[in-house]
Amino acid sequence: MFSANHAGDCAYLADKSAQPVAFGFQSAMAARLGRPGSSSLFIAILFDPFEERAIAVNLPALMLSITVIFIAPSAFAQQTNAASPSEGFPAWAFLWDPSVKVPPPDDKPNQLAGSNASFSWKQARDLFLALDWHPDDHPAMPEIVATGRKPDVRACGACHRVEGTGGPEGASLAGLPVDYLVQQLADFKSGARKMSGPERPPKTMVASAKAMTDAEMHAAAEYFAGLKPRRLIKVVESEIIPRTGPSRMFYVKSPEGGSEALGERIVEMPDNADQFELRDSRATFTAYVPVGSLAKGETLAKTGGAGTTVACAGCHGSDLRGAGEIPSIAGRSPTYIVRQLHEFQTGGRAASASAPMKPTVEKLSANDMIALAAYVASLAP
């Protein structure tokens, strides 16, 4: 089954740096969409599943809003960047399109390899429930992680997964220092930590953080800090990658197969979309990065690249697995790493504890960020 992420929706993101992509959703319906070449040209490829043919249509559009087209039983969508980001904004790292409607989730139990549990798609979309596929793999969850607190605090384990593994769209939390986790919650609460680009579910993170008590923050932080990080990401250098399509918040493979050029971006996809969308902490990922990224990233991380930045080990430890209250960055999602480097550079993360990162990232180009993220993600967590 080819499914879209998190709410069963499908999405398309207009990204000038990306190649044409496909999208899909949890249904038999899927379509191939062309990419706008600029903000003034909208290119739609409408696929008729009954006639097995595609019709290309060019529509002039001077807008940055979402255009939704409904044809027969199929639904298709494209979106230019809703937030009018500045030039150089890595839109591919901030995927988000909640607009397209799909059939509602069902109550049918699903099972995954390696687990005796079963959960429905309706349960997977309930953010007040953390699906626990492997209860023997972790200690007992505190209530705030398992079910949250209605109506404002979602279950931490729903988005970040029961074992804190996260994904391309959100942070992995396993093994991070307690004080660091508590400080991040406090920064979301105070507004010192924000998100660039189109509004996306981190606003749910902000709402939850604002409503959490100090006791709940510490309970969640202590739980996730006590978990061991998993090595789940394989980094692959390539110019050509499997044809993909951004679903709601992360890339997935096109059900039609094929390939596309990677360009200057990172495309990180779950190896099994259903497994990830059903919130299994054992879901694995492949991150495609430009050729040469690993070597360049290693040089930047270890030497600073002749003044481009500073060696990461000075703060994050010799193996980049953290030092004291400084977080580990080894083995983390490269998509997430690029987002954070961008936020440090542009002021999205402005708390006092973030101050040392400002001069560290100020000279980094988009390509530098991709290289650093690729190298860091390739390391054992």
Q: For residue range 118-131, what is the model confidence (pLDDT) as tens digits?
A: 999 999 999 999 99
pLDDT in tens, 289-321: 999 999 999 999 999 999 999 999 999 999 999
Closest CA to 247 of 169, 325, 330: 169
Per mean pLDDT, which range of 200-214, 255-269, 361-375 is the poorest? 200-214
- Is it the case that residue 237 has pLDDT exceeding 50? yes
Residue 330 one-letter amino acid: A
Angle 248-253-254 (CA atoms, 0-180°, nearest 5)?
A: 95
For residue 337, give both structure tokens.
Answer: 């790493």
pLDDT bucket at 248, cuts 50 / 70 / 90: confident
* CA distance linking residue 72 with residue 110, whole number of Å: 29
List pLDDT tens digits, range 32-58: 333 333 333 333 333 333 333 333 334
Whole-prediction pTM value? 0.78
pLDDT for 183: 97
CA distances from 281 to 127, 134, 232, 314, 329 (A): 16, 8, 9, 31, 19
Q: Which segments within 263-319 are labelled E, that is strand? A: 267-270, 285-289
Instruction: Considering only residues 173 and 36, tell me which one the structure prediction assigns the higher pLDDT.
Output: 173
Strand partners, 68: 77
